């Protein structure tokens, strides 16, 4: 339950949602004018999920992301400078320019990687939880995945493994209702993705993914359960992708597949606006204070852009770095 004493947390939630929003607005713009290349999968509209869920974690808990995952590292506390530099492919990026938009990873804040392949990171998150349990630690693993990935075999194998071994995993499904251009209703047999939890004898709940506090509370209960050794849970957060599947892919994926009315209706339930209104109604902050947070977030993204643009490119001599930990000379294979 929300408590007045958590004011700084509630404000921090707003700040991180704004950072993600502005980060991805910048990324969309960069992709549109080809300043960065490759696909950009914007998280805009879904910020409350990553921020609400990560707010329920400790710094040393683990998360895994997916292809639409600029938001998760930021929600977990990663630096926007290094994340932006990675989008630019710069040496100062989290992955030294070798990962890119779909593979942002900051191990120092518990990110075990993002998977460009749907469902691919879920078994890895389960393995991290297994390591946690075998080492008698209480670290929780939280894979983020979408409605699309929820149909992958790896997802179901992961849920079953976590359930039979009672692992500290909180499966967070970001149901943004579209797998590329196909609506979830046509692709998932059950009414709610959370209903699938029953098949693995674990709790499954569906929450409003536009309400950061609802996400925080539902995920928080699942995290407490996992940390207490009671096993995994599935939290389905119903949310919406404002943008198309990916930016920067030309005309390939821009055929109409959803009504403008539908998009507009969801934009009226914007997670940042909802949280801002809640903060004002509850007297947690004044409009001026919230404006200042937004201004700071915008400035942080401007600074990140400057950092990324002025950072050095990796040198071609770095091509083989990090292929093996004990490098073998390139001419050996």
Partner 1 sequence: MPELRMREALREALREEMLRDDRVFLMGEDIGAYGGSYTVTRGLLDEFGPERVIDTPIAESGVVGAGIGAAINGLRPMVEIMTINFSFVAFDQIINNASKFLYMSGGQFNVPLVLRMAAGGGSQLGATHSHSLEGLYAHFPGLKVVCPSNPADAKGLLKRAFRDENPVIFIEHSALYSLKGEVPDDADYVLEFGKARVLREGTDVTIVGYGGSVHQALRSAAMLEDQEQLSAEVIDLRTLRPLDIDTVIQSVKKTNRCVVVEDDWQFGGFAGEISAQVMERAFDWLDAPVARVSGKDVPMPYNRNLEFAALPSEEDVVEAVLAML
68: tokens are: 């639409």
Should residue 123 be labelled a site residue for partner 1 when binding is judged by CB under 8 A? yes
Should residue 188 be labelled a site residue for partner 1 when binding is judged by CB under 8 A? no
Among 32, 164, 187, 273, binds partner 1 (CB under 8 A): 164
Instruction: Return contacts of 111-115, CB within 8 angstroms, 24+ apart.
Output: 111/62, 111/63, 111/64, 111/65, 111/72, 111/73, 111/76, 111/78, 112/62, 112/63, 112/64, 113/64, 113/65, 114/64, 114/65, 114/66, 114/67, 114/69, 114/72, 115/64, 115/65, 115/66, 115/67
Should residue 191 be labelled a site residue for partner 1 when binding is judged by CB under 8 A? no
Q: Pick between residue 118 and residue 272 the one whose CB is nearest to partner 1.
A: 118
Q: Pick between residue 76 and residue 276 the one whose CB is nearest to partner 1.
A: 76
Among 157, 195, 217, 294, binds partner 1 (CB under 8 A): 157
Q: Pick between residue 111 and residue 235 the one whose CB is nearest to partner 1.
A: 111
- State whether the Cα torsion 307-85-275-183 is positive or negative: positive
Minimum distance, C-beta of residue 315 to partner 1, in the bound complex (Å):
14
Should residue 226 be labelled a site residue for partner 1 when binding is judged by CB under 8 A? no
Minimum distance, C-beta of residue 1 to partner 1, in the bound complex (Å):
33
Residue among 226, 173, 175 at smallest CA distance from 58: 226
Beta partners for residue 183, in sequence order: 178
Question: Is the separation of the CB atoms in 195 and 204 below 8 Å?
Answer: yes
How many residues make up the chain in this entry? 333
Residues 35-74, mask of contacts with partner 1 (x by CB under 8 A): ---------------------------x------------
CA distances (Å), 107 to each of 104, 113, 191, 193, in order?
Answer: 10, 8, 36, 29
The β-bridge relationship of strands 182-183 and 178-179 is: antiparallel
The region of 23-31, 67-75, 157-165, 237-245 touching partner 1 under the rule CB under 8 A is 157-165
SS3 268: coil
Among 130, 214, 253, 298, binds partner 1 (CB under 8 A): 130
Minimum distance, C-beta of residue 141 to partner 1, in the bound complex (Å):
8
Should residue 294 be labelled a site residue for partner 1 when binding is judged by CB under 8 A? no
Q: Pick between residue 38 and residue 127 the one whose CB is nearest to partner 1.
A: 127
Question: Is the separation of the CB atoms in 123 and 153 below 8 Å?
Answer: no
What number of chain residues touch partner 1 (CB under 8 A)? Answer: 49
Q: Which residues bind partner 1 (CB under 8 A)?
A: 62, 93-99, 103, 105-107, 112-113, 115-117, 120-132, 134-135, 141, 153-154, 157-158, 160-161, 164, 321-326, 328, 332-333
């Amino acid at each position: 339950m929300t408590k007045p004493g958590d004011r700084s947390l509630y404000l921090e939630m707003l700040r991180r949602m704004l950072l993600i929003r502005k980060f991805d607005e910048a990324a969309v713009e960069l992709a549109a004018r080809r300043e960065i290349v490759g696909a950009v999968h914007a998280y805009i509209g879904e910020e409350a999920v990553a921020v609400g869920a990560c707010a329920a974690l400790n710094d040393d808990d683990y998360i895994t992301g997916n292809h639409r995952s600029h938001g998760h590292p930021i929600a977990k506390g990663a630096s926007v400078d290094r994340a932006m530099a990675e989008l630019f492919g710069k040496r100062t990026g989290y992955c030294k320019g070798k990962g890119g938009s779909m593979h942002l990873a900051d191990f120092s804040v518990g990110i075990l990687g993002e998977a460009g392949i749907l469902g691919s990171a879920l078994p890895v998150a389960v393995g991290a939880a297994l390591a946690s349990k075998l080492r008698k630690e209480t670290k929780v693993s939280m894979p983020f995945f979408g409605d699309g990935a929820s149909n992958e075999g790896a997802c179901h194998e992961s849920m079953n493994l976590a359930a039979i071994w009672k692992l500290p995993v909180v499966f967070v499904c970001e149901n943004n209702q579209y797998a590329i251009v196909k609506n979830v209703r046509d692709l998932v047999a059950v009414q709610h993705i959370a209903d699938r939890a029953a098949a693995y004898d674990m709790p499954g709940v569906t929450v409003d993914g536009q309400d950061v506090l609802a996400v925080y509370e539902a995920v928080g209960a699942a995290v407490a359960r996992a940390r207490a050794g009671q096993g995994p849970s599935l939290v389905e957060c119903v949310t919406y992708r404002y943008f198309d599947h990916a930016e920067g892919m030309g005309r390939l994926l821009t055929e109409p597949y959803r009504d403008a009315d539908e998009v507009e209706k969801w934009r009226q339930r914007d997670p940042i606006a909802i949280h801002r209104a809640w903060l004002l109604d509850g007297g947690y902050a004044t409009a001026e204070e919230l404006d200042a947070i937004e201004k700071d977030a915008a400035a942080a993204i401007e600074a990140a852009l400057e950092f990324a643009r002025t950072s050095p490119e990796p040198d071609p001599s770095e091509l083989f770095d990090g292929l093996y930990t004990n490098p073998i000379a390139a001419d050996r294979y």
